[in-house]
Chains A and B, each alone.
Chain A
């Protein structure tokens, strides 16, 4: 990890309230990093969807499992990791929610929304098993950190929680 990368991580309980907590935490980082209202909305929604995915599909709503959320703020982008303790999954197995036969499905749009709202999106196998969602958003030009790591805005997240 580059020395000027700010890192924040938290282990969340597998409960519904963790979705709001994760969204709130990442929104604060995004706002401090200089993202505008629309991008904050997209980041917040993506974090929600990532944690909902971990809560529901990954950890199967089992309270003995944890959801690991990490945020890295580099010189040019905000990177979000959501790791569950489930069995993992392949992106290619996720049905297309825009397909005619899936339009009236009551679930299965979370991955699509994260892909739509973030600049980069991928799902990898976690080091200890489970699925790790990795997604990022480029910082707005005015919010990009200077080479000395001090940040281009007055408000930047604190180093390492």
Chain B
């Protein structure tokens, strides 16, 4: 299943709803293009909704980290919402769970951007 991404504005925050697999190839490329596009539009508060993403490989992890760094470098914030169990486990064993701000509730996540 390829990756799909749509985004919606919630005040100053852009919520990106992702579904599918973030893997080497089109999936990672779409995530990169989406985040870079938002930064180009000066949307620097980004919440990635991963509720429908049940698979990420090392390439996808790399793309998440790359996006996180790119947003941080522009004084923005990239946070994660609704991790599936597999994705949460993956971020935990790679110690990235402590790097990203992760939320289970969208309103709480939106408020955290300040």
Contacts and interface: CB of A to CB of B under 8 A. Distances in A.
Interface of A: 16-17, 19-20, 41, 45, 48-49, 52, 97-98, 103-107, 109-110, 112-113, 116
A98 B58 contact: no
B25 A16 contact: yes
Contact of A52 (B59, B65, B99): B59
B86 A52 contact: no
A104 B69 contact: yes
Which 9 residue pairs of A and B lie closest in terms of their CB atoms, listed nearest first?
A106-B62, A109-B58, A16-B25, A110-B58, A106-B66, A98-B95, A107-B62, A48-B57, A106-B65
Interface string B80-114: 00000010000001111001000000000000000
B35 interface: no
Given A103-B96, A104-B69, A109 B62 contact: yes
B23 interface: yes
Contacts of A98: 94-95
Nearest to B57: A48
A75 B95 CA distance: 36
Do most interface residues of chain B lie in helix, strand or loop, or is the interface mixed? helix
Given A19-B25, A97-B94, A105 B65 contact: yes
B15 interface: no
A113 B57 CA distance: 9
Nearest to B90: A113
B24 interface: yes
Contacts of B63: 106
A68 B59 CA distance: 21
A12 to B, nearest CB: 14
Contacts of A41: 86
B61 interface: yes
